[in-house]
Amino acid sequence: MTNASSTIVFSLSGFNAIVSYRVTLFSLTLLCYCVILSVNMSLILTIILDRNLHEPMYICVCTLCINELYGTSGFYPKFVSDIMSDIHIISYAGCLLQVFVIYSYAATDFSILALMAYDRYVAICRPLEYHSVMSVEKTAVFVYLSWFVPFCCIVMIVSLTSTLKLCGSNIQKLYCENWSIVKLACSTTIANNIVGLISISFYCGHVLFIVYSYVWLVKSALKSTEGRRKFMQTCVPHLLCLLNLITALLFDTMYSRYGSASVPQSLRNFMALQFLMIPPILNPVIYGLILTKIRYRMTALFMAACQSFKLMCKL
């Protein structure tokens, strides 16, 4: 285990703190994943099946839900199987793959939320230009870039991590995380630190762009009753999702780099898991409840499904 090309199996010591209540955690985690799959798939299918929802804002919401499914698929199946296992290990290749999926999921979330902020800015501040600026073709390009750019960034990060010489194999978390692997290195990590800081700065730029957009949105919304109504209906859900994601990721990132070892493992586990549990459930629920078109359409589909079920029961 002296170089990056050796076959390495990492141990995930975060599971040591959950042994006493793993049956309960297994049940709750399985329920949580089922809820994530249900609410996100419901929203995705609702938007895909209803042509009236084939608009830039709803396409972005659909893309956000697809990303939630993608990100959680890199964590939950492995996590659920590990909870009931007595051995908590992951292969070197599997660990890097998990890092890629989880990190690209988080980065793509920021990109999609930035795109949604731009969409709302154009819709409210430049309404006459909306259909030309956010045409179907341009929206498709923006959505493609919101996936492509984060994937390129994370490929670079994971590639650099894969070249490190490692002097340890114990990751003190419930899943693989890039900084936890970098801390095991016995070779220089200057390149990793530089690329990591550039990536963090790049996505902090996304947050600043969103804040800047919302400054103009608020100014524009205050000018008319219609503007305020549109802002409350379409922008508030976006802000709630953004705050939800930033809070969850900030806890995990700050603790990973600067956290104290005296913090109980159970609290560390919770801080590490919240951005993989809370946003994937809350985001589709927030959009499904607050956006009128989606709420009405989902209600109509639910009622239709209930009627079909009743007819089947009578037969």
Instruction: Give the percent of the chain with pLDDT over 70.
Output: 87
* Model confidence band, residue 223 (pLDDT cutoffs 50, 70, 90): confident
| Whole-number pLDDT of residue 2 | 43
Q: State the Cα angle at 289 between 285 and 290, rounded to 5°.
A: 115
Q: Calculate mean pLDDT across residues 238-242.
A: 72
Instruction: State pLDDT tens for residues 86-106.
Output: 888 999 999 999 999 999 999
Cα–Cα distance between 223 and 92 in angstroms, integer?
56
State the greatest distance between any 2 C-alpha atoms of the chain, in Å, as a whole number. Answer: 70
Instruction: Answer whether residue 187 shows pLDDT above 60.
Output: yes
| Whole-number pLDDT of residue 96 | 94
Q: Are 253 and 272 in contact, with CB atoms under 8 Å apart?
A: no
| Whole-number pLDDT of residue 79 | 92
| Whole-number pLDDT of residue 92 | 92
Name, of 5-9, 46-50, 118-122, 144-148, the range with top average pLDDT. Answer: 144-148
Instruction: Answer whether residue 279 shows pLDDT above 60.
Output: yes
* Model confidence band, residue 75 (pLDDT cutoffs 50, 70, 90): very high
Q: Calculate mean pLDDT across residues 126-130.
A: 86
Q: Calculate mean pLDDT across residues 227-248.
A: 70
Q: Which residue's entry shows tokens 């292969």?
A: 91
| Whole-number pLDDT of residue 257 | 61
Name, of 14-18, 81-85, 267-271, the range with top average pLDDT. Answer: 81-85
Instruction: Give the percent of the chain with pLDDT over 90.
Output: 28
Average pLDDT along the chain: 83
Compare 243 and 232 and report the one with higher pLDDT.
243
Distance (Å) of CA 184 to CA 157, 164, 171, 250: 16, 9, 8, 22
Q: Calculate mean pLDDT across residues 142-152.
A: 95
The predicted model scores a pTM of: 0.86
Tokens of 83: 């909870």
| Whole-number pLDDT of residue 78 | 92
| Whole-number pLDDT of residue 151 | 95
Q: Calculate mean pLDDT across residues 165-169.
A: 86
Q: Are 117 and 210 in contact, with CB atoms under 8 Å apart?
A: yes
* Model confidence band, residue 161 (pLDDT cutoffs 50, 70, 90): very high
